[in-house]
Structure 1
Amino acid sequence: MTMDFVVSEANALLDSPLLRRIAPLTLSGYARFRAIIDQDGALPARVKALFVATAATTKGYRAMALRELERARQLGLGLEEATAAAIVLSSVRGEGAALSFIEALEAVYPGSSGGEAPLRIKEVEPGEAEKNFLAYFGSMPPSLGKLASLLPLGADAYYLMREGTINGTPLGPKYSELLLVAVLAADYSPLTSVHIKGARTAGASEQEIAEAIVCTVATSGLSAWVSGAAAMDAA
């Protein structure tokens, strides 16, 4: 798939007067990456904006996360789709990142996080977690085998959070896996390859995976692409 090169109308880095004076080559390249991120391609632009906002949250770039989430909303991302990032971050980056994103969500979609809701604790049958791990990974990963043998309650916890992250979000499995790819690629994580494989299993094309990784150039620079491309080869 080819994509016409259109310079983004508004971007904080491209709008920097200093960089416009001193870095024409850098901005010319970055404008092309932003064209991939900001336009509909293999992935919808609204989903890619959410990917950037989520990756920015994990890096601690709150202003950028707010800008990108607002851009996602303007592109048509609904609140329900946007909440998927809070689920994913709860599992892969923990409490602080998830709560930071929820704050951004409230700022962009006012009233989204309020109200009362009961805590619903799902029961796990004996052997259910292990069966899920084998179905997803093909064999028992040593880390999860150790968890199951030493802390069975932890294995159940891991199963529930992993299952919720992939199959329990409004984005559906394919986009949830790609969101995981973006979060992990933003941190140059070797675990990126696990979710690239998961994205392929869920039906993602190589172009869709590549666009998800390019989203992380906005938060983590060129090394994010190099690391992500290596993970594509390793998956």
Structure 2
Amino acid sequence: MPNFQKKWSSSPSPGLGEKITDAIKPKGALKPRVEMAVKRLQAQISKLDNMLTKLKQRDEKLFQRIVTATQQHDTHTTKVLSGELVEVRKVSRILGNARMALEQIELRLTTFHDLGDTVVTIMPTIGLMKSLKSSLVKFMPEADQEVTRMTEMLGGLMTESFSGDTSFGIEPTTNAESEKILQEATAVAESAVNEKFPSMPVEQATPSTSSTKNM
């Protein structure tokens, strides 16, 4: 009976359950497809890195202008720039979360590339990709088609790896796993953002002009 070795360049890990082993279908090599998925993910991560770099530069410029305005007691300018900086940091957090999540997916696909563990690896990433789509398209319109394409590619890997009956009782587990990955990525991204961005200066109350003159 054909086994996973005919679909994967490396030997399968020992100890796989017979139910899953018997369900595997010999429909061509999976390895090149996984490599393609990883390349697509890396391309999106690179785009996010570029956007995050520009946002960081914008953040630094705004922060410096806020400091200057605060020193000059220019309350109006301080408030306007602070509002803009809040939005910049909000976008940075969203994109940072998305980047970390994509990196987690890439890591899982690399693990799949090495171990051939199809179900445990790919199923959570499909749910995670769908969750990320709504966040990314707001700032990266071109990400809509790309994320959809990657999601379909991952779904295709699952479809072609297993027979029609893929209900191994993994749906609730994989949904929970997707959420766990996203939470972990968000925590890491939030920590990174908090380390990168300094707190905005708080303008101190200034003494009145008359009291300054009557020293």
Q: Same fold (TM over 0.5)?
A: no
Query: Taking CA–CA contacts closer than 8 Å with sequence separation of 6 or more, which of the two structures ends up with the larger relative contact order?
Result: 2
> TM-score w.r.t. structure 2 length?
0.31
> TM-score w.r.t. structure 1 length?
0.29
Larger radius of gyration: 2
